[in-house]
Amino acid sequence: MIEMKGATLITGGSNGIGRAISLARKALGEDVVVLDRVPPPAGDGVTYIEADLADFAGLESLIERITIEHEVLRLVNCAGIALIAPLADLSIEDMRKTMDINVLAPAILAKTISRTMREVGFGRIVNISSRSALGRPLRTAYSSSKAGLIAATRVWALEMAGTGITVNAIAPGPIETELYRQANPPESPMTQEVIASVPVGRLGTPEDIAFAADYLLDERAGFVTGQTLFVCGGLTVGSITG
């Protein structure tokens, strides 16, 4: 089998899960392009392009320019927003904004980049969804958008089947990123309660998700498409008690 290197484009690749995936791809010798609103740390060795994924007017043309300069054969849609509120306080604007960033922007990226993939006859698309797609309080907008991304993953996989392009999703459980630690101090009772609810007894790490992404992005994973891999420490299986 011919090794398909090309470039990997990662949205939200400057921090957290996106950065872990970025560093993992760089370690494999790939050209990595990061789209984000903030730059990654110096020394990551990636091509950084500032981008606002909500700017749909310029997003498609930006991606077209990127694909001229880089042969993008792998796409990771990692950027997303989580606006938390009970249904009684749900804002129509927040719902629209969440769907725009978490579903519509990934669709625009996949639509544009898959053109290059089709020409080459090879491509890997990985969408970062969430375990919250199965339901979680206070997350009408977020959970709906992440469930929508899983549905889109299945549709794109069917539409691109036979082209050499696979489309899959990863649905992380609670992952200990910098933002997570800021909102959930390790010593807080709520954080301890979350950890206790995870069957494997710990929070996930960004590297856990990067390892899963490496598998789905590999050229040898060509028989896996339309799937959602829950990387959640067993949360989607059930409780270890009761």
180 is known as an active-site residue: no
Q: Give just the sign of the alpha carbon dihedral 91, 152, 46, 61.
A: negative
Residue from 48, 142, 180, 215 carrying the catalytic annotation:
142
Which amino acids are annotated catalytic? Answer: 142
